[in-house]
Amino acid sequence: MNVTVSAKVRRELLEKARRYGINVSQVIREALERKVREKEVEWAIEVMEELSRRITLEEDSSRIIRRERNRR
C-alpha cells in the first residue's frame, strides 16, 4: 500500500528540478529508500556487535578457524 508524503522545498529548487527534467517524486523515493537501508545496516551491525560482546567461546577463535580450514 502506498501513501502520499509531502515535503516543503524552496520554490527556486523545484523550478530548477523541473527545468532539468528531474522526477522529484522518484528522487525523494530513492533517497528515502537509501536512508532506510543505511539505518537497517547500522541496526544490524549494532545487534551483531552486542551479540559478539555477550558470546564467549570455549576455545580461541583462531584455533576454531584453523581447524575448519584444515577440514577442507
Per domain, the residue ranges of the chain are: 11-71
Which pLDDT score, from 0 to 100, does residue 21 have?
A: 98
Rounded alpha-carbon distances, angstroms, from residue 72 to 25, 65, 68, 69? 52, 11, 7, 6
So what's the pLDDT on residue 7? 93
Neighbouring residues of 57: CB distance < 8 A, sequence distance ≥ 6: 64
Buried b (16+ CB within 10 A) or exposed e, 23-55: eeeeeeeeeeeeeeeeeeeeeeeeeeeeeeeee
The low-confidence residues of the chain, meaning pLDDT below 70, are none
Could you give the 3-state DSSP secondary structure of residue 3?
A: coil
Record the pTM: 0.68
Report d(CA 72, CA 19) in Å as an integer: 60
> Counting every residue, how long is the chain?
72
